[in-house]
Structure 1
Amino acid sequence: MNLLRAASTVSLLTLASRITGLVREQMVAAAFGASVMTDAFNVAFRIPNLLRRLFAEGAFSQAFVPLLAESRARDGDEATHALIDAVATVLLWALLVTCVLGVVGAPVLVWLMAQGLQKSGGFDVAVAMTRFMFPYIGFMSLVALSAGILNTWKRFAVPAATPVLLNLSFIAAAWWGVPHFKAWGIEPIYALALGVMVGGMLQLAVQLPALKRIGALPSFGLSVARLRRAWHHPGVHRVLKQMAPAVLGVSVAQISLLINTQIATQIGAGAVSWLTYADRLMEFPTALLGVALGVVLLPQLSATQAEGGSERYAALLDWGLRLVVLLALPCAVALIVFPEALVSVLYHRGAFSAFDVHQTVTALRGYGAGLLGLVALKVLAPGFYAKQDIRTPVKVAIVVLVLTQLLNLLFVPRLGHAGLALSIGCGALVNALWLLIGLYRRGSWRPAPGWLAFGSKVLVASLLMGAGLTWAAQTFDWVALGARELQRAGTLAAVLLAAAVLYFGTLLALGVRVRHFARRG
């Protein structure tokens, strides 16, 4: 398997997801702007997403995928299918209990995350939407189980494409649901909550045929007797044992999110929404680069670890890190020097005002400062997970959590909501550097020859591109161009195309070739 081609496939499908995600955010921004209702929705949506990252895509995947890859490499498909059935059964029962508790305890959860909504009047709306959307965690945890299986079988396309369905469901809710809810006398923001639930069901539904095609469709045990048998499977206990430190590690990031959300709700109405809109833009390169590399690398690293190939392990990490520098550094430069154009073209219409553009831009610059670290973590963390070492990233994450909150004390009084984004960015850089040093010290990563020359070429190309984007940022009044939407969008497209040609053309002139990154796994 060509790893660059696999990563490119995942990245292209993720691109489709992020494009539809941006369309979704455009429609939400135009319909609601940045208001108390959007703050309430974002808080309500963050609660199941927090648990999803905690138990599904986070701790569960980190513990399950390496074990699954090891089982398939050492014990064969039959034993691996037994492991899948046992884990799926225990997971399903855990999700049923979690969803019931979440629906009942929604007021407490919203209070813990966003007390400030009590002042602005969005608290009860957030509680109602939390109750309605909480089962989303169940759908997405099963999607994470399915994605882990498909990625281990090197079927990357379906898991990478499924997020598009959530975005399409959102778009339908904003386009069709919002006006209908208004006509029916229902608060329009509830249409988005309905879109979330439909999107979760659709994502799970498309995974099942893909699992059936590879003969790995889980057999869920709905009886107590099946649950007991599944619980006694040794693989389940290994997953749970690995999940314990992973839960702590992912909890650190989610605790940081919870604290930041609390702070944002205290800053004032709109702060949560500005950060969310900026976060969506920041996630565009993070997902295209970091997530794609992480999805491809984790099962490959896990299989290599099981086979004892230390040199290949180090080479895989080095390959991933070079791609991170090649693609994330220019994206970081663009987010820092050219954010107003991006935010204006994507969001500035309808209820989303020029003031909202400015506030979102300041947050986006903060995220951009740490983009390289945020993307690198998607490669560095699997370097530990594949060796079933989750404790080291956890220890680092705890220290970074403390550092991030100390930075909030410094930045937030001066920068407001943008200080929260900058603290997250700085924390990500420290986290990534710490993990990189850890991998180097234990010999898991050894820089291949030519790093200094390669890094210098990327830096030169990024600076030239940044100079061109700075000129474009100062030459055009991107907010005023909103009166001529097509002209503004066309100008942005031309500037970004010219920036890409300048960046990659410079790299080509300096001797960097795509074939240098071709690698088979």
Structure 2
Amino acid sequence: MSVSLRNVAKVASNTFLSRLLGFARDVILAHLFGAGMAADAFFVAQRLPNLFRRLFGEGAFSQAFVPVLGEYVQERSVQETRDFVADISGWLLLTLVIVTVAGVLGAGLLVYLLAPGFAADPAKFELTVLLTRITFPYLLLVSLVALSGGILNTYGHFQVPAFTPVFLNLGIIAAALFWAPHLAQPVIAVAWGMIFGGIAQLLFQIPALYRVGHLHWPRLRRNDPGVGRTLRLLGPAALGASAAQINLFINTVLASLVGANVVSYLYYSDRLVEFPLGVFGVALGTVVLPTLSRQSKTAEFPRTLDWALRWTWLIALPATIGLLVLGQPLLITLFRYGAYSAQDMEQSYLSLFGYGLGILPIIAARVLAPAFYARQNTRTPMRFGIISVGVNIFISLLLAWPLHQLGLSLATSIAALVNALLLARRLWRDEIYRPAPGWRIFLVKTSGSAMALAVGLFLLRGATSDWLQWSAAARVGHLVLLIAGGALLYLFLLWTLRLPELRQLRRR
């Protein structure tokens, strides 16, 4: 197998640290703001730059830029590659400055579009607009970070980009702990913490860029063919890669309309779902894209894709079961302090259940889409992304009012499933990918082990009322034992069934 499991593990371990700090950040935010007005305002404000980040930053830009850069590294001279990086940096920076200025000036309109329900509460609306003006420049910072990360990943330097998000969480945590208590409106400090974290992220990558020879002044030269090709790929890639973010955008709009605090319920549950998506989904997608780009014209291409899909199933299945069975203990252990009430936990679990069902198709799509991007085909994922957005809108409108956050989260998961199935069907139809032998027995062994895991966790988790009464230390202790015990049980069953993929863990 040409994809290094060691590289996946490096990215995953650094991302794991970032996600742990993300949980610490969210615990602090839940303690300070619960699921009230300030929390709703901040979660909407930070979602706006994150939505545009998928359009201009790590999602779409990397998928358009990395394959072209990989081609330059393999087929062009060092100077031509450096010229291409300098040129694409200039055009990206110019676009980001224009969008950032427009976003800050038009913050009121953006908030009204994203959360129209907030307009009924002038104080909440004004606070959200203020926070959006503070946080929107994070788009510029994180998109430049994504550019740097794409360069480093192409040269096989995965650890620095994977560790970089740690600084965003540190910036928010520091602002929340040391600055927020001194402000009349503490959430303003948290918004500025995003900006400080983004600056730290960018500065952290500069030495690594220098070491690979790509620390350049941006410039605006239009005659580089690589720039034109990247820009042509970028538009479709932006729509395709942004499907999940657009679905979240729609969920936020409807959440602001269907009930109080629904935005916060969706946020807290989404943070738990983002843990397996971020740790494994991002790690796998990060390593697979440059690998597939190098292999796009070789027989290794389908074998690499098959390997990635097997590991997607192997990891996403127990992650889904763990979140569904242990969802309430997780929410209680992480967030049930301060302003975050037991009712907030119960309502957040409804959306966690809906989002949890989407873990497998979302990670699968993050593996399948790079199979198209590596071949410089961004239009097909774009079309399927648009279809999935349409599915999400239809189901959200159908379920949002009767089921509130549960309906919105279910719509997101169903849309992700449609997207993954369409991508897989096209790869099959075009004879780009055929499952390798052994899939049937692989599915039987992993599914049986996962079912045993679900039964074991359900029998051992205890009553929700007990978790609510325990101290923080007791909650953490019980949760660690359940997660560790569940992981060992799953691995033991797979080892007993002699699953071939586990041999890779011993070799690497």
Instruction: Report TM bin, short chain.
Output: over 0.9
Return 5+ residue gaps in structure 2 as ranges: none
In the alignment, what sits opposite 1:219? 217
In structure 2, relative to structure 1, the CA distance for the partners of 1:4 and 1:410 (3 Å cut) is same
Distance 2:392 2:278 in 1: 22
AA in 2 matched with 1:500: A
In the alignment, what sits opposite 2:167? 165
Q: Is the 8 A contact 1:344 1:478 kept in 2?
A: no
Is residue 233 of structure 2 the alignment partner of residue 245 of structure 1?
no
AA in 2 matched with 1:133: T
Which residue of 378, 381, 392 corresponds with 1:390?
A: 378
Q: Is the 8 A contact 2:46 2:132 kept in 1?
A: yes
In the alignment, what sits opposite 1:118? 119
1:2, distance to aligned residue in structure 2 (A): 6.0
In the alignment, what sits opposite 1:138? 140
1:231, distance to aligned residue in structure 2 (A): 2.3
AA in 2 matched with 1:457: K
Q: Is the 8 A contact 2:388 2:415 kept in 1?
A: yes
Is residue 470 of structure 2 the alignment partner of residue 470 of structure 1?
no
Which residue of 397, 401, 407 corresponds with 1:409?
A: 397
Which residue of 385, 409, 434 corresponds with 1:421?
A: 409
In the alignment, what sits opposite 1:20? 21
AA in 2 matched with 1:178: A
Distance 1:131 1:519 in 2: 50
Is residue 442 of structure 2 the alignment partner of residue 451 of structure 1?
no
Deviations 1:8-61 (A, max 9, x none): 000000000100000000000011100111111111111111111111112211
Distance 2:143 2:321 in 1: 35
In the alignment, what sits opposite 2:422? 434
1:290, distance to aligned residue in structure 2 (A): 0.9
In the alignment, what sits opposite 1:129? 131
Q: Is the 8 A contact 1:412 1:419 kept in 2?
A: yes
Q: Is the 8 A contact 1:44 1:127 kept in 2?
A: yes
Task: Report the 3-state secondary structure (helix = DSSP H, G, I; strand = E; otherwise coil) of the residue aligned with 1:10.
Answer: helix
Q: Which piece of structure 1 moves more, 66-75 or 113-122?
A: 113-122
Distance 2:356 2:338 in 1: 26
Distance 1:78 1:40 in 2: 47
RMSD over equivalenced CA pairs, Å = 1.7
Task: Report the 3-state secondary structure (helix = DSSP H, G, I; strand = E; otherwise coil) of the residue aligned with 2:465.
Answer: coil
Distance 1:144 1:262 in 2: 27
In the alignment, what sits opposite 1:299? 290
Q: Is the 8 A contact 1:2 1:518 kept in 2?
A: no
1:514, distance to aligned residue in structure 2 (A): 4.9
Which residue of 470, 476, 491 corresponds with 1:489?
A: 476
1:251, distance to aligned residue in structure 2 (A): 4.8
In the alignment, what sits opposite 2:273? 282
Deviations 1:327-347 (A, max 9, x none): 100111111222101111011
1:254, distance to aligned residue in structure 2 (A): 3.7
1:129, distance to aligned residue in structure 2 (A): 1.1
Q: Is the 8 A contact 1:22 1:346 kept in 2?
A: yes
Deviations 1:407-427 (A, max 9, x none): 113322332112111110111
Q: Is the 8 A contact 1:133 1:196 kept in 2?
A: yes
Which residue of 342, 362, 368 corresponds with 2:356?
A: 368
In the alignment, what sits opposite 1:329? 317
Return 5+ residue gaps in structure 1 as ranges: 222-226
Q: Is the 8 A contact 2:72 2:80 kept in 1?
A: yes
AA in 1 matched with 2:15: T
1:194, distance to aligned residue in structure 2 (A): 0.9
Distance 1:254 1:511 in 2: 39
1:430, distance to aligned residue in structure 2 (A): 1.7
In structure 2, relative to structure 1, the CA distance for the partners of 1:219 and 1:192 (3 Å cut) is same
Q: Is the 8 A contact 2:51 2:246 kept in 1?
A: no
Alignment of 1:173-212 (within 5 A): 173-181=175-183, 186-212=184-210
AA in 1 matched with 2:164: T
In structure 2, relative to structure 1, the CA distance for the partners of 1:313 and 1:180 (3 Å cut) is same
Q: Is the 8 A contact 2:244 2:416 kept in 1?
A: no
Deviations 1:296-315 (A, max 9, x none): 0101111112xx20x20000
**Equivalenced residues, count:** 506
In the alignment, what sits opposite 1:87? 88
Percent of aligned pairs sharing the same letter: 42
Deviations 1:433-481 (A, max 9, x none): 2211211222222211111111111101100010011113444535423
Deviations 1:387-418 (A, max 9, x none): 11111111111111111122113322332112
In the alignment, what sits opposite 1:224? none
Q: Is the 8 A contact 1:400 1:427 kept in 2?
A: yes
Distance 1:363 1:108 in 2: 28
AA in 1 matched with 2:160: V
Q: Is the 8 A contact 1:290 1:377 kept in 2?
A: no
In the alignment, what sits opposite 2:48? 47
Normalised by the length of structure 2, the TM-score is: 0.96
Which residue of 251, 259, 263 corresponds with 2:254?
A: 263
Is residue 345 of structure 2 the alignment partner of residue 357 of structure 1?
yes
